[in-house]
Structure 1
Amino acid sequence: MEVHRCRFVDYIPSAINALAFAPNTTRPVMACGRANGDIEVWNPKNDWTLEKIIPGGKNTSVETLAWAHQTTLTEEDDFWDSEKEKQVAIKKLVKASPRLFSAGLNAVVTEWDLATLKPKRSVDSHGGAVWCMATNHANTILAVGCEDGCVRLFDIADGELTFIRSFDKQKTRILSLAWSEDDITMVTGSANSSIYKWDVELGRVVSRMTVDRVSGEDTLVWSVKILAGGNIVSGDSLGHVKFWDGTTSTMIQSFNSHGADVLCLAVGRDGNTVFSSGVDRKCNQYRLVDQPAPKKSGKNGKNGTINGKTEMITKWIVAGSRRFHSHDVRALALDESRNVDALVSGGVDVSMVVCPAAQFPDINQRRIPHVPQRPVVSISKSKRLMLCRQTHGVKVWRLGKSASPTQSFSEFEIGAHMDLIEPQQAILEMNFKDDHNLTASALSEDGHWIAVADIEEVKLFRVDENPSQPGQFVVKKQKSFPGVRGTGAHSLTFTPDSTRLVVASTDSHVVIMDIAQWEAGNFDILRRFGHHRGAGGKEDESMDVDGDEDVVGGKGQIETIISMTVSADGQWLATGDLKNRIFVFNLDTLQHHATLPTFDAPLTALHFHPYSPTLAVPTASNVFYLFNVETRRLTDWSREYSSDKHFPTKFLGLKDKIQGIAFNPARKNTLLVWGANYICNVDLDQGVGDRNAILNVGKRKRVDRAQDQIRKQQQERRMKKYAALGIAPMPELETGNAVVVLQGKKGRKVLTTTTKALQQEEKEEEHNFQLLHKFQPLMFVDFVGDNSLVVVELPFIKILSSLPPSYYRASYGT
């Protein structure tokens, strides 16, 4: 097989600035804010699944995030006519989705619509850049710390986002803040070496705590938290982690456990555990433990004993330390609930690291792959073109060509390099001046159309080669292209004949647009489907799977469309959303055709087989399903094997989710399943094989060689044993039965033996799922022709080369 290993794609992920878990009163979910303004929403279920990406924009770096989930009523008891009506209102609050807020250096506090991924409400901070933000424990008030040294409160109760009032102004910016458990007091960390304790009702400083200073320079208090018992913990720019008495505002303990700035803290729910990290990349854990009291001095002292018993005191200790990152750690998030139990960290090195909080630092961490969880690459197979989407632009390459092989691919050694007669070439780059980051892009099969979208609009461009200058391209924006009523898109794709554009809009409509009449400036909307908004999906249109019908839909069930694909013949369109609803549409008749059943695990992609109406649906549990959309049934192979009870355990245990499926046109009954760090070949003409088999091809070969060596050694030992017993070597021993005559003191003894007993060969196990870990983290995998595979890689060393130098502290002798 010919493999195009593409490492020339210019894609660099953005640094992580903020992490925040939603309150425990709602489902487990975590937000990750990046330096380019994007906010990723992750679900810890199924080993951390990315649900959606809220696009940022220019000058919208996310510095802080906050979730809110109100569960208490703000109205008085006499407001409700009956207790039943009150309980119904409380249940409605509990069932409501959590609200997500973000802020940054653009001085705007934004609430996001988690269905359309658009801003829902925005208010000015009235104080410049926002450095920190937190909701009170009742989730009714949002506090923000501003550049002008003022803390401002916003009312977020009952879906509001309105300014309430400001605290007394300080002469320095507010870098961190935290609410007390009773929401009566607040603590803020400032850039003037001070920690202030505030009375929330009065908006005035109650007490002040001062951290260490060096050479008269101000120390920055980057992070501050209030523990469950009321005590305070702070992290500053000198690398100190300090614990303070919340009542007397005096320092209890101080740790100089970091070599540079402590940028973030995370505290446990019981107040007995604290995590810290920062510029030196070290993640420390502090625990509150009981220790013997120090010995008393004096002649009458009893060395720390009372009535013969050792006196005990509670103290903080450094319980463990790990380094997970290569550069500064800017954010920590902790969720100790039983379903999650995770300490999450992120920073400049763009990767998110998850480790079990309860077993820190003994258990190894898991690094979430730095490649995009949903592909940003699209290709034109016939023209051998590849497009990659950047934050504010797209770039197109023409793939290279290799010399014609002088022998079949089966005769080549694995990993052999083929001579290039044409190297890859960057032929087009487009950058946009829009304020919003791009959310979707697509390249048509004929290579003449490029579509891009953000959350506001969809743009269409015609690409033609300049006849007077071969190799030069002319790009024309189709100004008459109307888009989709002023809305943007979450996903785009062209039909294989390049005459239609399919748009998954931000309002969850699936729109079919005709672009065949582009020369006349006509771009008609052929059909608009609203099934992902809960509209449509009749019961008689559902797909029958094992005799069961399941229709998901209902009024108001609007959800983000995350995946979309068109069949190779252009007849079928399949779309999927975050509610796990998958709809199939007939593009010939422009009608809804079928509704697939929902799965226990979220879907991660959708792909059609190039030669049959078979839809492949991989899920986050690493089980994939194959549906025949014409017969509206699972394929025979999928009916028998598509289950976590049948798939190989090694494959199900892969931490990286399936990100895509590719079909080789030369082998119609095989498919490639790929994730960030693996490619797996599956033969649909075979079963899944031994569930406990070794799937890694290289490891399996090493194990087979070792087993062969063991068998040879065992055979040699048996032959030596027979020789010692007087059994002469016979040619028949190697071919079949042999008669052995033993002459001993008790007379003659005749034995019959077989070579099968002497050379017991283990039955060769059936292997189907063939795993390869040969490639660097994968961004995209697909075939452009028979036995011609395109693999887009993003080595971590490429990202490191683009990052600033990490913290280094010379030690003696180095």
Structure 2
Amino acid sequence: MDIHRCRFVEFPAAGISSLAFSHTSNPAASTPPDLRLAVGREGGGGDIEIWNVLNGDGDNINSNSAKWTQERILRGGQGQTVEQAMAGGKLRLFSIGGSAAVTEWDLTTGVRKRQAEGNFGDIWCFAAQPRPQQQSQQEQDQPRSSQLLAAGCSDGSIVLFSTEDDDLRFSRVLVARPATKKTKVLSITWRDPSTVVAGYENGSIRWIDVPSRRTLRQVTLGSSGGGGSTTSSRSAVVVVWTVKCLPDGTVVSGDSAGELKVWDARNGALVQSLRTHKADILDIACNARGDRLWSVGTDRRTVSYRLSTVPGVRTQRWVELSHRQYHKSDAKCVAVFESADLGGVLVSGGMDAGPIVQSLAQAPVSTARRARLFVAWWQQQIHVYHVAKRNQAGQAVDHQGKDYSLVGTLQLKGEEHIESAAISEDGSLIIGSTSAGVRLFQVRIDTGGTPRLRSRQIELPASLHRFGARLVGISPNSKWVYAVRMDNTVVVSKLVVAPTVATTKEKPRIHRAITKLVIPSTPTLPTLGGGAYTAGICSAAFSPDSRVLAIGTLGGAIAAWTLTGEEAAAADHIAISASGTLTEVDVSTGRLTEWWRRNRDALTKTKTKKMKANRANGGAHLNTEPSLGPG
């Protein structure tokens, strides 16, 4: 069909204000067939979208092959908005939005099923009472008749709604509105079935016992130390936008100062504070084990954290793994789901209207334990950090008391973002790749005074650096490098290092012989790239002894190769021409050696009988070819 004329009409897309999965995460169980994601929008009438994770490969679903499909839209009305959506019980969907009512939706008809409200202020947040631990999956799927909804209101009150008997009705007031200064309840969560944790506009966090309606403890964040939103700077008080409880009872909060704070599970004391955002943190999500966190905010950042154990010390501390800007505007909400076959997915949404789905794969970090270095990368930069040494008390003894410090940054040329990077175990080599090329650097750290990074680029053969790579790595003994090209070809080469490198500061060299490996595969999904999609390599690793290279594909196949062959340190080729001239060539680079360049005049004039006698022999060739044997 030929198109002769085309016109575009305005599509008023609304921002995403809330995200909620229908099931809680269970990394040990398969993905429930009725798993759904509710996406609430704040404009355009307050619509709620229902998304389904369709299995793209029969029984082998994963975060890469999953297809997210919008099944239906629950339409709102004029002047309405969805501030928060939540799934509870047997796929019951609840929402709030700019009023004093909680709404339950009929998933069959797509209309409002019932509403519950009372004599209190507008509801700003709400959360479902967690279920107790069940013995079986069948028992866990059964609805809990006494499940409560806790809602925080604009007048400072907290009220409870009952979902008993498949109904929704106002139950009682948990915290009455204050008689004097009224402050909004902006965030609320359940620590356990009998304890509610709430964050307030005045910078306070309260732990409330539900049966007795007693405030167990209260903390106040105080004034802003700079940064944050105009709201915090105007009132000089930090606003608690979000609170979350980890499985062990630890409370995590995000505020208008851009700080993520961790509160002790037993006494509510401040354990740690991380300034990871340049503006307000609006939402926080955690994984099922409670050792990973993600936060989003008005600075468009999605920040990932990990619970780290300090060697020799019992205490654990949260560290920032990475931050990325997936959104073009404010990121307002984030949700996580994990299962055995799906793996883990992180969904975030904001004012740019499109939900962002990403896999919870390993963060882009590579470590050199012996050198106390690690690298992290994003866009076109590789950042190199040095980890501080610790005393017996677990405190950092250098970097002015900081756990780590940035010692340098490597900039890769071009507009393409970095696909992969790695640092060698001894911290002397860093390799990075984009879709356009591969770069290898020799690095060292000057420890005199403030640690600084010194680097220089190592020349690579054209067959290695010109084609780009999605994965790169260095063997533990720093003698092999691999690159997985964008076309799925695995390229392996050996590093030639002279024994005097440490004293002469000579560059390591890449051997000219490049080995290419092609993985045979059987197509399993003809609809995806003609079946080649599942053959794509998604991971690669060397064995600890650097003798085996193993790779894995999206289709679940694993291949391994044994690396064999020892290489002499001096990879030189000595040749005598027909005129009796002596020439020395570096086999790995194909160039004349530095020794020959310095002595070429004397060697050109020397034509002894011994050299003439060797014309027929063509010189001596030192065999330095690396080889790979099938594993």
What's the TM-score, normalizing by structure 2?
A: 0.50
Larger radius of gyration between Structure 1 and Structure 2? 1
What's the TM-score, normalizing by structure 1?
A: 0.39
Kindly indicate whether structure 1 or structure 2 has the higher relative contact order, using CA contacts under 8 Å at least 6 residues apart.
1
